[in-house]
Amino acid sequence: MDGLTHPAHHRRLHDVLWLLLPVAVVAGLVWFGRVHTLDYQTGLFGQYADDARRLKAQLGSALLCLALIQVILALWIYGRLPALRAAPHRIHTTHRVIGLLAFLVSLPVARHCITAYGVQLTDARRALHSLTGCFLYGAFVAKVVVVRHRRWPGWALPLAGGVLVTVIALIWYSAPLWYLNGHQAPGL
């Protein structure tokens, strides 16, 4: 064996360590959200209280729209849209740019949520929103890890992307929909 190859057990250990990174991200966010001092006066782009919640609901809705566009583009890239021929290279680039935009849209909302409200487990809606909010960044890290490690099975990337979109939908359901629907969401 030359110095460039790794024994199989080292590759498996390497893969396991990469898989632990998303878990560490989620655990770190939950820990931080539970132990730091909450600051209900935290603003979001100069908006406070109900205005900040409205802005977060709007940004969360935009995030969901971007995630749904990502699904359509991914289906096109994978050849799952029969009405369209193979996706041109610009669609791959568009998919990456929209993914980055979605990530950037999520950051100020997440910062406001975790610093103002932390991770709250007081009722089903807050617990769902808090935990899926933390899970969002673990899912994002997992998707990046899968994209960067091409030797993983072909189903890993669609699974990681699907989990990410599902988490975004749950976050939207548990807060933006709840807020925009007069503080009501079916089942919560």
> pLDDT (tens digit, 9 = 90+) per residue, 154-185?
899 999 999 999 999 999 999 999 999 999 99
DSSP string, 119-137: ---SSHHHHHHHHHHHHHH
More confident residue, 98 or 13: 98
In a domain? residue 56: yes
Structural domain range at position 76:
49-180
Angstrom distance (rounded) from CA 111 to CA 118: 10
| Local confidence band at 9 (pLDDT 50, 70, 90 cut-offs) | low
In a domain? residue 18: no
In a domain? residue 31: no
In a domain? residue 27: no
pLDDT at 149: 83
Cα torsion 115, 116, 122, 124 to 10°: value is: -90
Pair 36, 115: CB distance under 8 Å: yes
pLDDT at 45: 95
Domain count, the chain: 1
pTM equals 0.90
In a domain? residue 9: no
In a domain? residue 187: no
In a domain? residue 146: yes
Pair 148, 28: CB distance under 8 Å: no
pLDDT at 1: 45
pLDDT at 8: 63
Helix (H) or strand (E) holding 100: helix 89-112
pLDDT at 7: 63
Instruction: Give per-residue pLDDT as tens, 19-72.
Output: 899 999 999 999 999 999 999 999 999 999 999 999 999 999 999 999 999 999
Instruction: Give per-residue pLDDT as tens, 117-160.
Output: 999 999 999 999 999 999 999 999 999 999 988 778 889 999 99
In a domain? residue 15: no
Tokens representing residue 114 in the block: 């975790």
Instruction: Give per-residue pLDDT as tens, 65-98.
Output: 999 999 999 999 999 998 888 899 999 999 999 9
Pair 188, 128: CB distance under 8 Å: yes
